[in-house]
Each structure stands twice: as structure tokens, then as C-alpha cells.
Structure 1
Amino acid sequence: MAFAPLLRQHVLPLAGLTAGLTLMPKRSVYAEEPTSDPLAAMRKRKPIYDTPSEPSIREIAATTPPPASGKTDKPQEEQDLPSVIVASSPTPTDRLAAQIAQTRLFLHGYAAATEQAINNGMSRALSAEHDVASTIRSLAPPAESNEKLLPGGIYVLVAAMAGSIVARNRNIFVRFVTPILTGVTTAHYVVPRTTENVGNLVWRWEEKYPVVRDNHLRVTESVRHFVETGKAHSQMGLAMAEEKVQGVRESVQDWVRKGQ
């Protein structure tokens, strides 16, 4: 009975310590390299929810590059170049796409130029047609003038042919001028308004050429002077003829009076 207390005091604690040493694991179950002291490693391990500590001012200053001063030893061309240049040659697909784009641009420009040229030509043709139509309309006499171009034109043509027949045995200048004079004179009497419109149109054309305009004025003045001179001579001749007729009449009357 005295052996039981001794066993409880000395043998049982020793047996428990031996069992604990035997059951304690010799290898770590973690993924990191096993340590010789598992307890020390467990003390050093941080909790999984801890946040990393912020870097100190010295560490930030050591890792931050110095500010740029704006001065550099490199030339301007090297500064403008990008820091990284990727040298790659275009692929056949890219070259084909560029050629197709150039061809499309060329065809588009040629088509646009052709369309513009056609539009300009049509505009000029329509403008010329409008000018001709407006010019012909401006030559027509007004409705209140009662002029008819069909018989009047025939009369003018007949008068010009008659002048040509009259001057057929004269020199070339007379044969050229006589039909014109007879035709113009007949036109002034038969279709005066149409003749005036034609004269105004010819005058507008002549104003574009000063030489032709001056010659026209000179010829017109000469013709007017010739006509006025002819009228004066004809009136003088008529007056002389009337005076002679009056003298002959008086002489005949005196002779008849004496005979009675």
C-alpha cells in the first residue's frame, strides 16, 4: 500500500513526460522550409490578416528618381525620338491595302475631275444657247408695231438683188456697196423697228473692238455728210428748176398777153 503513493508521485509524471516527447512531431506541416525550432518559427509567423507596414521616408527617398532639371546633353533630334522604337517591316497584306487605297483615291480624283469638266461644258453650252435665244428674241419687233418679218424680209432681199443688178457693169466697190445700201434703205422703210434692233446689236458687238467702232463711226459720219450734201444739192437744183420754170411761165404769159 505504501508503494502506490510513490508510484503516483514519481512514476506517472515521468511516464507522461516520456509520452509527450514521443508524440511531439519532428517535421513541420507548413510549406516553408522546416526549422530547427518549431516554436520559434511559430512565434515569428505573422497573422494572415495583418496589413503590410508602410515604407519609411528613407526607403521612399532611396527608390524615387531625382526630378528632371530640363537640361540634357542629347541633341533635339534624339530627344524627339520615342524611347522605344519597334522596327517592323509592313506585311504583304499592308502593302496591298496601301496600293488599293492609292488606286481608289486616284480613280476618285479622276472621276471627280471628269464630272466637273462635263458640268462646266454643259454650263457653257446652256449659257450660249440662252444668249442666242435671248438675242433672237430681242431682234423681233414688239407686238404693237404691226411689223411682219416675212414679207418685210422678202422686200429687203428683192431690193438688194435689184441693187446688185443695177451695179453689175460698175467696178467691184460699187457692186459691193450698192446691194448693201439698197437693202439697208429698204429695211429702214419696211421694217424700221427690226432694223433698229439689229443696228443696236451690231453696235454692242462693235463696242468690244475700239478699232471697228471708230471705223463704223467714221463711215456713218461720211455717209450722213454725203446724204446731207445730196439733199442740199437736190434742194438747190429743185429751187433752180422751179425758178427757171417760173421764168419760162412768165415769159410765156407775157408772150400770150402781147399776142392778144
Structure 2
Amino acid sequence: MASRLFTPQRFAPVATGAAMAAGIALFPRTTLHAESPNVPQARKPIYDDFESEPTPPARTSPRSNSPATPTKSSTPTPTDRLAVQIGKTRMFIYAHVVAAENKVNDVMDSALDLEQSFTSTIASLAPSRQSGEKLMPGSIYVLVAAMTGSIISRNRNIVLRAAVPLAVGIGAGWVVLPVTMRNVSDLMWKYEQKSPVIADAHLRTREAIQKTWRMARVHTKQAVSIVDDKVSAGREAAEDWVKKGK
């Protein structure tokens, strides 16, 4: 009876199933890894700011020669934009301040040049020491002559009252201060040359005055010679009459 229950044909499937169950139990499919107790894990304080870990650079394939794709630039923050606007404002104000400073410097330079030109012009009118001409007594003489002309023409019309003192003063200046009057005349002529119309009128007036002066001198000489002839003839006639009376 026992030989019938435990025959090899019936024991083989049971042994095979037991072997498979023992294999699954002893050799699991999933491998479990335990943490090593010797390697301490780095812990961060809870108060540190969160910082994202840097991403590793993209690796390129050794076969492809194309460079890595560039990362997109981050958008500027409001602080950056405010800094840019402040910089532009400062440059704008600086440019205008520099322009105003240059303008003030130009105005001051022109004023100093004008003052220097005026003083040098006035100094050039004075006579040289070699001429022996003195301004102080000569100027007083010219002023007295102009006042005398004004007194003479005080009962005349307005044209004579304005022209006579000026003419008498200019004439006295040419007599008393010839070097100074020559310097003044040269300076006036230099300014008149800037206006051709005034220079032409001055030349014509000068030529007319010179011509009138020459004619007056010629007529004066003729009148003097005529008077001398008449006086000589009268004197000869008187001498002849006296001789005949004797």
C-alpha cells in the first residue's frame, strides 16, 4: 500500500514545485540597496536661502561638430532698468552743464579780448616820448578853443552853434596836438574802411576840402599880389607927384 502512494511518477511534480518555490524565495528579482552608515549625509541649515543646483552643461556628441545651444539671457530687473535711466539722466545733465560752462568761458574770453583791444587802442593814441608832445596842457587848450567857438556862435542858428565849436576844437587840436590828431585820424580811417560807403564819402570830402584849401591859397596869393601891385603903383604915383610938386 505504501509503495503505491510514493511512486516516482507521483513524487516528481511535487519535488519540482518545491524547488521552484525555494528558488523564488531565495533569489528575489528586485535588488535592495542599503545606505552606507559610514558616509555622512550633508545637511543644510534651515535658515539658508534656497539655491538651485547648477545644471550640468549639455554634452555634445563627439560625432556632431555643432556647438551647444546658448542659454537664454534673463530679463532685466526693475533695479537694472532704473540704473540705466539714472545713468542716461546723469549723462544728459553732464552734457548740458559742460555746454553751459563752455558758453560762459567763451563770453568771458570775448569780454577780456574786447577790454584788451580797447585799452590797447586808447594807449596807441597817445603820442610817443620822442615827439615831445604832452597831452595834459594840449587837451586843455583844445577844450578852451572849443568853448570859445561856442561863445562866438551862441547868437547864431543851431547849425553854426553845433559846427563852429567842433571846427574850432579840431583846428586847435591839429595845431596843438598834431601827433595825437594824426593817430586819431588813422584810427578813424581804419574803422571807416570797414564800410566802403563811408570811406568813399570821407575821401570825397577830404579831396573837396583840400581842393578848396588850395584854391583859397591860390586866390589869397593872387589877392596879395594884386594888392602889392596896387600899393606899389600908388606909392610910385605918390612919389612922382611929390617930385613934381617940388
Instruction: Compute the TM-score of the two structures, normalised by the length of structure 2.
Output: 0.69
Alignment of 1:44-193 (within 5 A): 64-65=63-64, 84=70, 86=72, 88-193=74-179
Q: What SS does structure 2 have at the residue aligned with 1:224?
A: helix
Q: How far did residue 109 of structure 1 move?
A: 0.8
Structure 1 residues not aligned, in runs of 5+: 1-25, 34-61, 68-82
TM-score, normalised with respect to structure 1: 0.66
Aligned equivalents of 2:65, 2:175: Cα separation in 1: 109
Residue 229 of structure 2 aligns to a residue in which SS? helix
Mapped to 1, the partners of 2:234 and 2:191 lie a distance apart of: 56
Q: 1:167 to 1:87 in 2, by over 3 A?
A: same
DSSP 3-state at the match of 2:220:
helix
Counting aligned pairs with the same residue, the percent is 42
Could you give the per-residue CA deviations for residues 65-123 of structure 1, whole angstroms, max 9, x where no partner exists? 499xxxxxxxxxxxxxxx65726432121122112211211221121111101110111
| CA-atom RMSD in angstroms | 2.6
Deviations 1:25-81 (A, max 9, x none): x99xxx999xxxxxxxxxxxxxxxxxxxxxxxxxxxx973499xxxxxxxxxxxxxx
CA shift in 2, pair 1:222/1:208, >3 Å: same
| Counterpart for residue 230 of structure 1 | 216
Mapped to 2, the partners of 1:63 and 1:91 lie a distance apart of 38
Runs of 5+ consecutive residues of structure 2 not aligned to the other structure: 1-25, 34-60
Matching residue of 1:216: 202
Q: Distance in 2 between matches of 1:63 and 1:32?
A: 36
Distance 1:233 1:174, change over 3 A: farther
Partner of 1:202: 188
Looking at structure 2, the residues matched to 143 and 208 of structure 1 have their Cα atoms a distance apart, in angstroms, of: 31
Equivalenced residues, count: 189
